[in-house]
């Protein structure tokens, strides 16, 4: 799966499912500070990633993810290993 497709699916999930304002969803956006993602949202993200991409999120690796771009990087790596 190409990076652009991953990004499109993640953006759609964040906007539609987590109801994050589209104006806040950019590659450089910080998950917590800019998009307001909290611990409950992370649970939804884990479930969403499994449903959309068939990838189980590694919680330890996710602790290092701060921006949307880093999250896309993480997914891109995980999908290549799948």
Q: The pTM is what?
A: 0.91
- Round to whole Å and give the CA distance between 64 and 3: 20
Burial class for 38, CB neighbours closer than 10 Å (0-12, 13-18, 19+): exposed
Q: pLDDT tens, 39-79?
A: 899 999 999 999 999 999 988 888 899 999 999 999 999 99
Q: Identify the sign of the CA torsion 70, 16, 9, 28.
A: negative
Total count of domains within the chain: 1
Q: Residue 69 maps to which CATH number?
A: 1.10.1200.10
Q: Distance of CA 64 to CAs 19, 22, 30, 39, 60, Å?
A: 24, 24, 12, 15, 8
Percent of the chain with pLDDT over 70: 100
Instruction: Give the domain extent around 11.
Output: 3-81
């Amino acid at each position: 799966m190409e990076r652009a497709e991953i990004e499109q699916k993640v953006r759609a999930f964040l906007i539609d499912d987590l109801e994050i304002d589209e104006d806040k969803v950019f590659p450089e956006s910080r998950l917590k500070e800019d998009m307001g993602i909290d611990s409950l949202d992370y649970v939804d993200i884990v479930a969403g990633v499994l449903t959309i991409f068939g990838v189980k999120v590694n919680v330890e690796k996710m602790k290092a993810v701060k921006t949307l771009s880093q999250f896309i990087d993480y997914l891109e790596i995980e999908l290549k290993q799948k």
